[in-house]
Amino acid sequence: MILIRTAVTALLARASVLRNSMAGAALLLSALAVVLTWPQAWHLGTRVIAHDDPLLSMWRLEWLAHALRTDPAHLFDGNIFSPHPRTLAYSDATLLEGLIAAPWLWAHVNPVLVYNLLLFGGIVSSGLGMFLLVRHLTGNPDAALVSAAIFALAPYRIAHLMHLELQWTMWMPLTLWAIHRVFDEGSMRHGVIAGAFLALQLLSCVYYGAFLAIIVAVFVPLLALSQQGRVRRALIPLCIGAILPAVVAIAYGAPYVANTQVSGTRDPGEIMNFSAYLSSYITAPTGNWLWGWTGGRFEGDERQLFPGVIAVALALLPFARRRRPRLVWIYLAITVVAIELSLGMNGTVYRWLHDHIWALAGFRAPARFGILMMCGLAVLAGFGYQSLQQITSAPTVVLIAALVAIGVEYGSSPVLLDEVPRRTPDVYRFVSLADRGVVIELPIVEGYLNPTYMFWSTRHWHPLVNGYSGFKPLDYAETTRRMRTFPDEASIARLRQLDVRYILVHETYFQEKERTRLMLALARRPELVPGGSYRDWIGTTRVFELKP
């Protein structure tokens, strides 16, 4: 009996040491992320979330690796939407993720594996950033673990699992951590680090970088008011630190600004469609085990912002105590501010900011402030868990119970996956060997096909008329309309305007009668030279070359 008791005591002591460390937190968060996104971890090298955006993200990663090696001066001039420039800036460029992926892609590592590892890395690293922040604020590693689990596993993440850049939120808690260190120590080093973290958030996700900057603009004055004696020593380091993200924002934002001068900004009606309602915070993703029944209220994933009952309950606990840390009021304030801003055009503050800050006119989805709400709420939950642990005699049991409860509440049905073929289809092998020229692939329709065309363009890198992104060129709708009657005179004229050389006709996606009519019409066009029939990823593709 004594031996058993000794062994159990040693095991608990070792577990305590493990969970107090970043390595232990990383192991726990990795395990939770695997469970949350199951069965994705079982197919890291072959499958992605069943959505168009993973194909877009893999194209972005591959384009960045390609451009960095061949022509860095034209980094933003992606090969899609030819002949338009700066097409990488039609959506988030994911520059930091691309820089990390580039060496692996240069070494010919499976791009699907690279993409999935970056996706998981974003989730786990976000939890680790929260772990560091809450451990610093509370001195309680168990509370930090609970906060990390809440931030890493939030239903918001499952709703956006197809968006690589929206998982890279580790810089949010790390920026706040560095700002706390500036006020604690008056450290110039931590001022620069805070600025670097904010810049890295911008490079990881333009949305989150801009939104985090707004929250920081609220957070710093609140922290200064609560620690007035430390303001003077923190002021200069923070001002110095602000230089780096400002420079990055100006340089990184240049292609986006240039695009808005051509394409314009977001329509206010479109922004309203991607603005949250207060009821969005009681709306969970439809796949959630416990709360999925609430998800039918809105279409799309931007308005599914349910934070979880356990997280809210823990966040309220500090306010039930007579002696509350002053920091809980600050984090309550930024949580409330994030909620208000997420309302976008349905609220007051964001609407005013939209009217007075030109850059915000380029952002479509104010509801994404919801992740900053989760950031503030996770910190409050850490303080709440600390309060709970202080009144219990079994801290390990309470920690396990809390983590299991969070995992169950945030658990979702198995995610749907699509397999990505590893072998390059014959048609793209042929195109890769052909002389350089503009390619168009038909049918040219919204949805699955254009992202697929983009993904396979990474095997040849010819300019591609097709494209899929957050923005589209103003004349892209005209191209799509003209191609519906291909190969008549108007469509051929449009192809000549676009300087198209190669036309890839994917037979599988035309109904039999339509396909027969199309092939007969193509045979009657002398300017279209048949280039052969080849296998694509699902069927047969006919290649034609348009004579100059």
Instruction: Give the angle 461-463-465 at the CA atoms, nearest 5°.
Output: 130
In eight-state DSSP terms, residue 507 is: G
Is the pLDDT at 10 greater than 60? The verdict is no
Mean of the pLDDT values across residues 276-283? 93
- How confident is the model over 301-324, as pLDDT tens digits? 788 999 999 999 999 999 887 777
How far apart are alpha carbons 223 and 221 in whole angstroms? Answer: 5
Mean of the pLDDT values across residues 495-514? 94
Structure tokens at 383: 């303080």
**pTM as predicted:** 0.92
Q: Comparing C-alpha atoms, which of 459, 501, 417, 425 is closest to residue 43? A: 417
Percent residues over pLDDT 90 in the chain: 76
pLDDT band at 8 (very low <50, low <70, confident <90, very high): very low
Q: Comparing C-alpha atoms, which of 150, 176, 114, 174 is closest to residue 28? A: 150
Mean of the pLDDT values across residues 516-527? 92
Q: What CA–CA distances, in Å, run from 315 to 1, 28, 135, 267, 489?
A: 41, 22, 16, 37, 65
The rounded mean pLDDT for the chain is 91
Is the pLDDT at 299 greater than 80? The verdict is no
Q: Comparing C-alpha atoms, which of 164, 210, 140 is closest to residue 372? A: 210
Residues β-bridged to residue 546: 528
426-546 CATH = 3.40.190
- How confident is the model over 175-205, as pLDDT tens digits? 999 999 999 998 899 999 999 999 999 999 9
Q: Cβ of 46: how many Cβ atoms within 10 Å? A: 16
- For 242-253, letters b (16+ CB in 10 Å) and e give bebbeebbeebb
pLDDT band at 9 (very low <50, low <70, confident <90, very high): very low
- How confident is the model over 432-475, as pLDDT tens digits? 999 999 999 999 987 679 999 999 999 999 999 999 998 889 89
Q: Comparing C-alpha atoms, which of 123, 99, 161, 139 is closest to residue 31? A: 123
Is the pLDDT at 142 greater than 80? The verdict is yes
Q: Judge residue 419's burial from the number of C-beta atoms within 10 Å of its C-beta, 0-12 exposed, 13-18 middle, 19 or more buried.
A: exposed
- How confident is the model over 96-114, as pLDDT tens digits? 999 999 999 999 999 999 9
Mean of the pLDDT values across residues 40-48? 93
- What pLDDT shows up at residue 530? 94
Domain limits of the chain?
Answer: 6-285+300-410, 426-546
Is the pLDDT at 147 greater than 50? The verdict is yes
- C-alpha dihedral sign at 475, 481, 484, 489: negative
Distant-in-sequence, close-in-space partners of 93: CB < 8 Å, separation ≥ 6: 60, 64, 76, 206, 252
**166 neighbors 205 (Cβ within 8 angstroms):** yes
Least confident of 274-283, 390-399, 415-424: 390-399
pLDDT band at 431 (very low <50, low <70, confident <90, very high): very high
How far apart are alpha carbons 49 and 251 in whole angstroms? Answer: 32
How far apart are alpha carbons 84 and 86 in whole angstroms? Answer: 7
